[in-house]
Amino acid sequence: MYKLPITQSYMAGSTVRWVVPPGEFNTWNNRGLVQAIRRIPQPVSAGGEPATGRAFLADALTARRAGEPTIRVSDKAAWTLRALSGGYARPLGRRGLAQVEAETSIYKVLMEGIEAFAAAGMATSDEDEVDAQPIAYTRGGVAYRSAIPDRRR
């Protein structure tokens, strides 16, 4: 069992949203993250499936929007940077292909939480992005996404 250090300094905002992979809510097969977070006491919620978040993060780490990276990792997020630079790895199999499951380590626990958070946030971020661009109509009644902001809001 790994011990996670819990500090009270959070950069992203004034409140923390604790998100864990859905498997942590399994009564008989979990690592105790939900129970540890509830002892703080803090509310905890289940994220999406880590595999979904993993695919999203893989795309987002290489994609750019308007010349800017889609995702940025703070230089103060040392554990996350170490996980991304090789701590969160999959062992090679007989034919040199990576295994499905990552090696069991503290980095796996951290990255599965990040992947679950990314999977849970995917649906809301895509919908918010679509809602941000207003729908306009041609004179013939054909809908299109307008670059002109909706001034009725």
Residues 6+ apart with CB under 8 A from 141: none
Tens of pLDDT, residues 93-105? 777 666 677 888 8
Contact 112, 30 (CB under 8 A): no
pTM score, whole prediction: 0.63
- Running along the chain, 153 residues long, what does each successive block of 10 average in pLDDT? 42 68 85 87 88 86 81 87 85 71 85 89 52 70 70 52
